[in-house]
Amino acid sequence: MSAMNRKVIQTLAENISKQVEHFSKTETERLIREFHVLLKEPMSNHPGKEAPGVDRGKFRNILHEDFGMTDRMIMDQVFRTFDKDNDGFLSVKEWIKGLSVFLRGTLDERIKYCFGVYDLNGDGYISREEMFHMLKSSLIRQPTEEDPDEGIKDLVEIALKKMDHDHDGRLSFQDFEKAVKEENLLLEAFGTCLPDSIVNTL
């Protein structure tokens, strides 16, 4: 790496690390280098073309290979929560800010993040239908004589009974936040969207 590139990365890392609470400047530099390594790989949907950022397919591969995620719907929603400008690519800032919460976020940050993942249509609520689709997508199907959709509908009703504090048949952010603060295990009630263990070193 040339001295010029090193200086650019250091300056960028210094600027980004001021905006991100959970990574040091050195860790931010490492993440910037990793980001640039990812950009040099061919785009998953346009081979041979240089990417303006990390695309959905590449990001999904990272979530699967590095964090063991397998649910495509949840992985796409995680991408959407990282991609703040909705351009279909993660910029270096979106990448680092997203990883900051994903890997080391406080409980409040992770509640906001998980709610954003579970709010499939971005309307500010997690509806019965959204819960149903996420649970159906994330649960392992067992060969039984019963209709599996009935069991999922029962789980949705149980979740609403436990989490819907204002009893309007859907979860607002306030409902979700209150329920998770009362019982932290509800943070990933509708599917795994955080790593199994918090990563402390990069």
Separation of alpha carbons 28 and 20, rounded Å: 9
200: pLDDT confidence band, cut at 50, 70 and 90?
very low
pLDDT of residue 153: 93
Separation of alpha carbons 9 and 53, rounded Å: 16
Residue 42 pLDDT > 70, yes or no? Answer: no
Of the candidates 20, 165, 138, 32, which has an alpha carbon nearest to the alpha carbon of residue 77? 138
145: pLDDT confidence band, cut at 50, 70 and 90?
low
143: pLDDT confidence band, cut at 50, 70 and 90?
low
* pLDDT tens-digit map of 158-188: 999 999 999 999 999 999 999 999 999 999 9
In sign, the C-alpha dihedral spanning 92, 87, 74, 57 is: negative
Residue 101 pLDDT > 50, yes or no? Answer: yes
pLDDT of residue 199: 47
pLDDT of residue 201: 43
Asked which of 16-20, 122-126, 129-133 is least confident by mean pLDDT, the reply is 16-20
Separation of alpha carbons 156 and 134, rounded Å: 10
Residue 155 pLDDT > 80, yes or no? Answer: yes
Average of per-residue pLDDT across 22-37: 91
